[in-house]
Structure 1
Amino acid sequence: MSTTTPIALITGGSRGLGRSMALKLAEHGNDVVLTYRSNKAEAEAVVEAITKQGRRAAALQLDVGKASTFAAFADQLRSVLKNHWQRDRFDYLVNNAGIGVHANFAETTEAQFDELVNIHLKGAFFLTQTLLPLIADGGRIVNISSGLARFALPGYAAYAAMKGAIEVLTRYLAKELGPRRIAVNTLAPGAIETDFGGGVVRDNADVNAFVASQTALGRVGLPDDVGGAIAMLLSKDSGWINAQRIEASGGMFI
């Protein structure tokens, strides 16, 4: 990894958990490139907040569900690294971007399934592959999974299946990228108060209370709980953690 200020690339970094990750990493001394799918103003607001912390940041448009655009995105990223940082590599990749689909197994459509595959599995697989030449040796990758890959709640069969696949992919990446000293881990959030899935955990009092009652620490997770976990995983003291699934759920369903 470079001896200069580390640069982290966070997909889906303009809102929700990704926004918290970006701000927490900046707080811990990292520069940030974040991607957004459609809301440029939202992304630029995060860049401005990072800049106010004294760190450098940039926002790039990317739809992780469209693998055909990844080569062009990599070219754009090369230009940003060169122009903003006079660098040709970045240090940390966080595959965070995603959507939620709530549908019982019997009612899940092929279109819903395909969208989840394209965003959560194919997207993370081929974006990481495309960006490998730009990741510094000794860098790190964190793939975002979900507590739903460990425990089962009706309505999330397809979504959780994608996250289970991501957890397997993490171990393979750790093995194959080991010669480059790139550590690869999974972070699996529990239920968090964001707008994810229509904001059900945040906005539905009954759901919020149920989750809190099933969590050892007695509350629902907040975005900064996950942002802080990412900052911990990408800190200089965590480099020996590799090929692990780390759950940030407050002890949900234990």
Structure 2
Amino acid sequence: MTTSAKIALVTGGSRGLGHNTALALARKGIDVILTYRKEKEQADAVVADLESQGRKAAAMQLDAGDTASFDAFLARLSDVLKQTWNRDTFDYLINNAGFGINAPFASTTEEQFDSLMNVHFKGVYFLTQKCLPLLADNGGIVNLSTGLTRFSFEGSSAYAAMKGAIEVLTKYMAKELGPRGIRVNVVAPGAIATDFGGGRLKATPALQAHIGSVTALGRPGQPDDIGGVVAALCTDELGWVNAQRIEASGGMML
């Protein structure tokens, strides 16, 4: 293995869309550092899978909603880069970590609101900020949003509002990081059958049928529908795509 491979940092890479993204990046010849909050065994299994494909990989613990922990995380990240890759920088940041809360607007609590904000907006804002010294020039950032910023389903007001903020932030990141050649885009998945939000879609055939009925391609999404989109944004082929919202929903709610 040469040290010339690009390196991506994927937050929340131990499961779901983050896991799928890590695998898709590996298929494009990109090495991966993934973060996990509690699922160390799952994260280690993903690392082993990536290594079996000939990539270098590492897993690091991170609570993406705990901004007070970010300085220590960045110090550890710097050590991992030097020890594993003999590098001081990485090339792509994938802000994927997240969770869902389904609660009506009228009864969403301040605690629920803050927990969503800390992970989906404040955490993304300040983790990205703190990563800037380690993010290589001419690299890229991909933020994860949701189709729920374009269409609405009851119970997602706080979550969708945080993702709407991320979509605006993406444009500002692209504008201010452009002089360094860093591209910043946002991928907005539609309804995806994973364990996200308690796995409600994955476990509910009636909900799957409803989603299929309002989607042009006739079915809910799967993780394999998303990871490749994120990984593609980390390639030279899409090197002129910047500050864009790319919805990957199969044509939901057209």
- How many Å separate the matches in 2 of 1:202 and 1:229? 21
Q: Which residue of 2 aligns with 1:73?
A: 73
- How many Å separate the matches in 2 of 1:99 and 1:206? 22
* Shift in Å, 1:193: 0.8
- 1:144 aligned onto 2:144: yes
Q: Which residue of 2 aligns with 1:240?
A: 240
Q: Secondary structure at the match of 1:137?
A: strand
Q: Superposition pairs for residues 50-129 of structure 1, below 5 Å? A: 50-129=50-129
Q: Identity of paired residues, percent?
A: 61
* Shift in Å, 1:62: 0.1
After superposition, the CA RMSD in angstroms is: 0.8
Deviations 1:137-196 (A, max 9, x none): 000000000000110100000000000000000000000001101000000000001000
Q: Which residue of 1 aligns with 2:16?
A: 16
TM-score normalised by the chain length of structure 2: 0.98
- How many Å separate the matches in 2 of 1:30 and 1:36? 19
Q: Which is further off, 231-240 or 71-80?
A: 231-240
Deviations 1:26-65 (A, max 9, x none): 0111000000000100000000000000000000000011
Q: Which residue of 1 aligns with 2:156?
A: 156
* Shift in Å, 1:251: 0.4
* Shift in Å, 1:236: 1.6
* Shift in Å, 1:4: 1.9
Q: Which residue of 2 aligns with 1:187?
A: 187
**Structure 1 residues not aligned, in runs of 5+:** none
Question: What is the number of residues matched between the two proteins?
Answer: 252
Q: Which residue of 1 aligns with 2:33?
A: 33
- The one-letter amino acid paired with 1:199 is G
- How many Å separate the matches in 2 of 1:224 and 1:74? 30
* Shift in Å, 1:74: 0.4
Runs of 4+ in 1 over 6 A off after TM superposition: none
* Shift in Å, 1:102: 0.3
Q: Which residue of 1 aligns with 2:47?
A: 47
Q: Secondary structure at the match of 1:74?
A: helix
- 1:5 aligned onto 2:22: no
* Shift in Å, 1:248: 0.5
Q: Superposition pairs for residues 173-252 of structure 1, below 5 Å? A: 173-252=173-252
TM-score normalised by the chain length of structure 1: 0.98
- How many Å separate the matches in 2 of 1:138 and 1:164? 26
